[in-house]
Each structure stands twice: as structure tokens, then as C-alpha cells.
Structure 1
């Protein structure tokens, strides 16, 4: 039993209990699989919302065959007096995915939606999927959101023996208004084995799909990376009830990539990273509920206001960075001039109490790439060098424009930490003190801690990291962060939580 995309009966059996979702994991199921063409169209990977505003959001789904996306929207969970919307046709051109812009909704309200796929001849409709989200408030409302990154990395995929990616269940229990996904949303360079024997003799078992048996190179293989995570029931339930704000980092393409890189890895037949990145970027936007109209350049970096107190600035520290082999001392690039100006001006113009900078790379942690540098920090004491030059320029501009209450959130390094930066401890002193909070992984190998670079005067106030590298999610070093903003006082409280949702450390910041 084989279809046009090479999906075999053995692949379906490897997918274990994934059921109908597993059938569609590598693309639209073709006519070669006869049972998949019978009956009505199926929404294979759930529903998601993202990029929520005070008046709407982006709604996403995927069908197993060409079909029309139909949506009902209501403030009533019974869908009485629902508004009916005609969405796009879901076709193989976008791997069966599609999105619909929900708008003209009141701010700060609970919205329920129901999605069905209809045959193109209008004769049959599949089973509906439902979800909900809350539009952004406009006044002094309480706000809660979570953030994390790094999903299905280092060989740790969906393990049915432990209930799958359970950190998503823990995040859902916190009832966040939205989720900030800080990058490494998938591991396109991380093939999965059906089982992994742990040092203590236990066996970790993975659900495996065709796309996860090798590094991704083709467009369909990149699509399969995003499809894989949505096989997990915890991920689908979370996505249906919590809108996301998504950015990317390196593993959506390949480890530590930068524009113009030529790979020397034997597992890749396509060595040009720019070619791989273009395919990955297309798959990323097909499979994530991102509003490309809000992105400044149509790609990733954008901002969102969430009530009186919160504005989120989402960075892209991957698409414009210079080579990891670049000089550590000469001025370098990680944002690019246009994005750096956008960030400075946006933060200065913002009237939100708290300006949240969502960074896919940490500022002060040294992140090596072999003998080269992958991250912002150059690993050298003294004045800013390499990519630190660009960050120093942003921090200097914020200080001179007296921009207050800027908080940086990130993931990437696979542990959780709270870093306080101060010119009193720094080699570069032309900036105001600020906090950076790190949280991850959400479901991947645990690592760390990394070395702090002294240039911007960071202090590790709290760190929770594993005793050795690449511990499995069984060992308790999975993390997500939570931000709570009090609508009345504007106080911002950060909790660094483990994968079960237990608070490991917290602090409350008061607006200045």
C-alpha cells in the first residue's frame, strides 16, 4: 500500500496510535490509498489560531484532500447566532493547509469557532473541529502568557508511553491568553529512531513518520516536520485553545545555519543553505498561524499590542545574521540595520507599560558553533565585538530615548534561567539595567548551563540546568516560562516553571 508521496504500510504501523492523523503526516493523501479517498474530507491536524489582536486572529487548519474551509464564529459555545464564513480552498499547493482571517470581533472577549471541510462539489462535509481564543483587551486587563521553545529535538519525539508532549498539557492548565513560541518549533535536522535505550536501561519509544527518518531537504520533508508535532494530542488541544505568536530559529532549517552557508555534512545532498531555508520558510508559513501582513518584511519580525500594559516585539535573529565564521571583534550583524531601527523606534513609540522583546537567541550567553560563534555574545571580555556591536547600538538608543520597562524573553539553550544585566558590572556601560528570562526546552534534550559573556554585565540570578548533556524529557528538565501582568498595578511577575507546571523561581517587577 503506497501513495504518490511514498507513504507505506510500514510507515503507518510505525506511527503507532496516530490513526488518521498519521496517515496524512507527510502530505495530502493521494489516490493510491483507496480508504483515504472514501467518505468525507477530514481535517487531519487540528485547528490553530495565532497573531491575535483586539479584533481578531488568524485561524488555521488542514484537510486530507482538496476541500473548502468553512468556519462558524460565535461568542456562545453553543454556536447560537454564529457568523458563518467561507474560507479558502485547501489544495496540494499549500500541502492542504489554509488560514482564514477572523476580524470584526470585540476586544477582550472569548470567541468560539467551528471548522469543517466541504467537498469541492458541495455534496459532503467532514466532522467539525472546535476551538476558542480570547481577543486582546484594550484597557487595564490582567494578562497571562507563556513562552518556551525547542520541540522534538535531539531524538526525543512523541513517546506514547508517557502520554506524548505533556508540557503542552501543563501550559494549557495555566490558562494563558497566548503562547509565545521562541523558535526551534521543529527539528528539521533531527531524524528519529523508533526506540532509544537510556543509560539506565529504560527504553524511550518514538512515534516515527516518513519525514522524520532523515534530515529535511525537500519541501515535502520540511512540511512533514511541522505535521509531526501536530500528531500529538497535547499539542493539538493546546493549539485549539491558546493562540500562538511564533518565531523561528535555526532548527526549522538546519543546526546553526546562517545565510549563504554551504554545508559540508554528509547527510545532506543539497548543500546550499539558502535553498534549504527557502523551502523551510515556505513550510513554516504554510503550517503556522502567522499573519504575514503584520510582518514588517513579510517574513517573521512583527509586533502585537495586548491591552494597556503589554506589547510584544517578535525578532528574527536568523535571516539577517552574518556568518558564524565572522570576526569576533569587528562589527557584526544579527538583526540587520532595518530590523534594528524598527526595534528601536517601535520600543520608543510604544505606550505599553511593558515592552516584551521576544528574541530567538539569548543576549549574554555564549553559544558556540564548534570553534566559531553561533549566538550574539562573542565569548570575549571587554568592549562589544562581533554581533554584540549591533545589540549595543540598540541598548544605547533605548537608554538615550529613556525607554523604560523592556524585558527580553528567549529559549534556545535548553535550560531555564533569569539574567539581570547592569552597566555597574559591564564593560559597555551606555545602557539601562534590564532582565532577560530564558526558558526551554519544551520537549527536547536538556543541556547547559552556558557561559555568560561579561560585556553587558549579566548576572545569573537563577539557573535550572541538567547535570549532563542531552537528558531525555523523562528526567524533569523541561521548562516553560509564564508572565503575569496585573491590570490594576501594572506589576509584571515572571514564573520559570518545569514541564509539570511547578514554579521553580519567580520575581515581580514594578514599572518605572
Structure 2
């Protein structure tokens, strides 16, 4: 697969547009203004996502009003193609658009080519090409990678080191899927042009106007998502690997919850609900997500992919306040989503049920003196948000749901946690694994303390020696999960940002 793109890092450097590290708005900017003449340009590459056995979403963005056109083929030469007319790419969606490509055979590599055609039909953009693999039939092999946390804590695209190189390491694993576990952007984390490192080196950031301040307007939120796609590693990976994307807090603001009123001087808009609506619109515009597949048009949804079924959670939109009573019953999924999850898990015929969670279960994640995560930090019976997870765990045990694995990110290190009722204050559940992996390109932290309520045990931890270590220091991570269709064996590798395996285990399915 070759990716054709106007965004070549060397070309940008030669043109001197980086200068001090700031890009002005335009074709190369994060959220460029619309052009008025010439042929359309696809400014931020192409992506695929929400793939199933017979279809997938294809996404792009153009620099002027135009029509999105998609061609699909069984071979990379595109000798025989099927053409689809996609939506108009207009300022109403920031120039972005996506279309679901239907009628595909299962377990097949599909090559796709995207162009944008001028509204009068006389000119078209240069095409961009990508590929994805449709879901195999039940029992097929699966290889997926997962991680989260991109461009956080002041560490953006550094052209001196080749940008966000962990994406290239993931691409080298040739996965079928990428599960993005949230913090897809850091809308609350402005970037500086340079950062002095403890060892005397200087980190240099590519900075766009939208990344120079916290996001508050719709255009500023759009600019957060556009920024990551300026990186050639990200664009190449997105064109080659379909994704299932969820959100967490930094798509809006750190540790947010519905109804919160900010007390932060850098924000003129203090109402988190207003910010979340704008961020949510930009999130859906810039990610290859099918809103029709979501339960309520928001984020949580599920997909069958060969031997696995993946349940994408939303542990942000329905959570209670971080200031809520930790001992009283709380909410992180909401009753409807919790019931949807239990119902879906109990009905699934997949060998493995993978829960794609944007928050870990047993790690204590504080928010100052309050609690940001699920674990309430109190020993004994479940309280706060733990009570909702306790209901989920109890119900899937009662319904004899087997082979459930949780994948998450959020805490900016990698770990393997085994949960057992033999060690727990609450024992009405079956043992299970939770695998944590991140950050993909952000500051590294950890490790966090484990809460004993559900009996977790850390079987492996790889965390930095100090808080907010840069990507230069080797604590970037992603996880890889493979399922052998014949035996059903599931192997998990926790990998560093170069792709090297730090720890591995193989799980055998219970029948």
C-alpha cells in the first residue's frame, strides 16, 4: 500500500514552514480555512473504522466544498473497482466526511481509494489509497493492537525524532484492528514550541494555532483532532489499519464529568456540558465512527470480529461527579449502558468477549482529593462507581459468561492485572484479566495503587521512574492481542513503543 499525501515532513521542513515550530492555518494547518480555487486537496489523509464482516466506514477531509468518492477493489492495482458516491464535504462538518462501504466478503483484504471531486465535476483531488480487512467468519484468527493517550502533557509531534513513531511500530505488527482506548487528543493541553528536558536536551514541538491554547470553540476542538493527522506515522497507520475508537476525558477537559463547572482561569467557557457538546461533534466528525452503530448515537457499541466480540464502552458521558460520596452507590456506565453490556455479553457466541474500557477497574485514579476513576480507594464492599461494576461482574457470572477480557489505557503505563474473588472483599464474580497499555505518545506516569475490592493482583508492571517522562525515555506502550482460531488460545503481549514485547501470556478458553 502506498499513501499519497500532500503532508510530507521533509517537504515541510525544506519549505521552512516549521520555523520556530508554529504552523499557520492553511492547507498544512490543523484546521485549515477552506480554499476557493484550484483542485480539491485531501488535507489529512484517510481512515477506516467500525469494520465488520461485510462493511467498513471510510473517512477523509477536503480543503474546499467537494464530493467524497470512494473506490474499493480486491487488488491494490484497482484494475476492477466498485465506486461509491460519498457525502458532500462542506464547512458544516469542517470539511470531513465518511461513508459506510457495504457488500464486502468476510475475511478479505479490501483496498480503497478516495478522491474529492469539485462540485462542478471538472476537477478532482489526487487519490489517497488504503486498505482494511473485513471481519473473518466465526473461528477465524484475529490480531489486534490497543493503546491510548496521544500528544499529552506537552509532548506533541517532534520532527527531530520522526514524529509519533509508536504508530509505525504498531503498523509493523500488521494488525487487523486498532482499539483506541481514549484520550485520542489532549484538547486541554496546549503545546509549547520547545521543552527543556532534565538531561539538557530540548524537545521541539510542531505547533498549530489550535494547539497553542485550550480548546473551547468547535473549530478549536476540530483542530485538536486535525493536529494528530499532521504526523505521517499516524496517517500511514490510519490508512492501513481500521480502528474502533472511544473517548475519555482529554477530548474535552481533564477529569470531566457531566454537569461540572470549571474553576480554571484558562477557560472563558466554564460549563463542561457546553464544551463536551462541541468536543463530541468534533470527535464524531474526525474519527471513522458510525453513529448509527452506537446504542444512542454516542459512543458505546459492539462488533463481532472472528473469534472475538468487542464491546466499546463509554465511561465518561454517564459518570457521576468526581466529588460524589465514594461509599454510596455511584455510576460510571449508567444503568442503560450497564444493562446493554450484560445483555450483549450473555448473548455473545464469540469465543472471547473483549471489553474496550476507557478507565481501568482496580487502579485508584485520583482527582485531587476526589476520585476520577472506578476504584474508590476504600477497602471493603463496593462503593461509589464500584457498585455498578460489581453488578456487571455479578450478572455475567450468574449468566455463566466465560472468557471475558478487559483492555484499557488511561494511566500512562502498562500492566497486567488478574482479578480473583479469592482475594476480593466482593467475591460474587468469576476471575478475569485486565490488561493496561499506554501511553501511545504522551507523558509516562505510574504506577497507580490497586484497590483491593475486586481482588486485583499486578502480574506485571512497566512504569517510568518519575512522572511525565517524555517519549524519548522509552516508556511508550501498546498492547497486542492475538487469537488462534483453531485452538481458541488468546495471547497478550505488552509491548514498548518500538514494538518489543515486555511481557506475554497465553490464555486458554473455558468451554
Q: CA deviation at 1:70?
A: 1.1
Paired with 2:480 and 2:446, the residues of 1 have a C-alpha distance of 21
1:137 aligns with 2:136: yes
**Offset from partner CA, 1:419-475 (integer Å, 9 cap, x none):** 000000000000000000000000000000000000000000000000000000000
Once the two structures are TM-superposed, the CA of residue 46 in structure 1 deviates from its matched residue by: 0.2
| Structure 2 Cα separation of the partners of residues 63 and 12 of structure 1 | 21
Give the secondary structure class of the aligned counterpart of 1:293: helix
**Distance in 2 separating the partners of 1:396 and 1:286:** 37
Could you tell me which residue of structure 2 aligns to residue 237 of structure 1? 236
Deviation at 1:140, TM superposition (A): 2.0
Aligned partner of 2:415 in structure 1 is 417
Q: Does structure 1 retain, via aligned residues, the 8 Å contact 2:148–2:439?
A: yes
**C-alpha distance in structure 2 between counterparts of 1:229 and 1:113, whole Å:** 22
1:362 matches 2:360 = yes
Given that residues 445 and 471 in structure 1 are in contact (C-alpha distance below 8 angstroms), is that contact kept between their aligned partners in structure 2?
yes
Alpha-carbon distance in structure 2 between the residues aligned to 1:421 and 1:77: 45
Structure-2 separation of matches of 1:12 and 1:477: 30
Tell me if structure 2 keeps the 8 A contact 1:21–1:45: no
Is 1:253 matched up with 2:252? yes
- After the TM superposition, which residues 391-470 of structure 1 pair with which residues of structure 2 at under 5 Å, given as runs? 391-470=389-468
| Residues 291-343 of structure 1 deviation map (CA, whole Å, 9 limit, x = unaligned) | 11110010000000001x20000000000000000001000000000000000
Cα distance in 1 for residues equivalent to 2:485 and 2:323? 46
Q: Is the 8 A contact 2:18 2:206 kept in 1?
A: no
The 1:16/1:118 distance shift into structure 2, 3 A limit, reads farther
- Once the two structures are TM-superposed, the CA of residue 139 in structure 1 deviates from its matched residue by 3.1
2:283 equivalent in structure 1? 284
Q: Report matched runs for 1:41-80 at 5 Å.
A: 41-80=40-79
Residue 207 of structure 2 aligns to a residue whose secondary structure is coil
Counterpart of 2:5 in structure 1 is none
Once residues 125 and 438 of structure 2 are traced to their aligned partners in structure 1, the CA distance between those partners, rounded to angstroms, is 37
1-structure distance, mates of 2:379, 2:25: 55
Provide the aligned C-alpha RMSD in A.
1.5
Secondary structure class of the residue paired with 1:343: helix
State the alpha-carbon separation in 1 of the partners of residues 23 and 259 from structure 2: 38
Corresponding position: 1:227 with 2:226: yes
Q: Deviations over 1:352-371 (max 9, x none)?
A: 01000011000000000000
Which residue number in structure 1 is paired with residue 31 of structure 2? 26
Tell me if 1:170 matches 2:169.
yes
Compared CA separation, residues 24 and 205, structure 1 to 2 (3 A): closer
> Can you list the C-alpha shifts for 1:171-221, whole angstroms capped at 9, x where unaligned?
000000010000000000000000001011100000000000000000000
Give the TM-score normalised by structure 1: 0.95
Q: Which residue of 2 aligns with 1:7?
A: none
Cα displacement (A) at 1:151: 0.1
**Structure 1 Cα separation of the partners of residues 70 and 403 of structure 2:** 40
Alignment of 1:106-505 (within 5 A): 106-307=105-306, 309-505=307-503
**Structure 1 Cα separation of the partners of residues 57 and 286 of structure 2:** 12
| 1-structure distance, mates of 2:368, 2:451 | 17
CA deviation string 1:242-273 (max 9, x = no partner): 00000000000000000000000000000000
**Partners of 1:422 and 1:456 within 8 A in 2:** yes
- Asked whether the 8 Å contact 1:28–1:92 carries over to 2, the reply is no
Task: Indicate how the Cα distance of structure 1 residues 14 and 350 shifts in structure 2: closer, same or farther if over 3 A, else same.
Answer: farther
* CA distance in structure 2 between the aligned counterparts of 1:355 and 1:191, rounded to whole angstroms: 37
Point out where structure 2 has 5 or more consecutive residues left out of the alignment. 1-15
**Partners of 2:60 and 2:415 in 1: CA distance:** 35
Distance 2:372 2:134 in 1: 37
1:66-108 CA deviation, whole Å, 9 max, x = no partner?
A: 0111111100111111011111110000000000110100000
Equivalent residue for 2:84?
85
1:23, distance to aligned residue in structure 2 (A): 2.7
State the alpha-carbon separation in 1 of the partners of residues 182 and 439 from structure 2: 10
User: For 1:509 and 1:478, how far apart are their aligned partners in 2?
Assistant: 25
TM-score scaled by length of structure 2: 0.95
- The alpha-carbon deviation at position 28 of structure 1 amounts to 3.2
Equivalent-residue separation in structure 2 for 1:327 and 1:83 (angstroms): 56
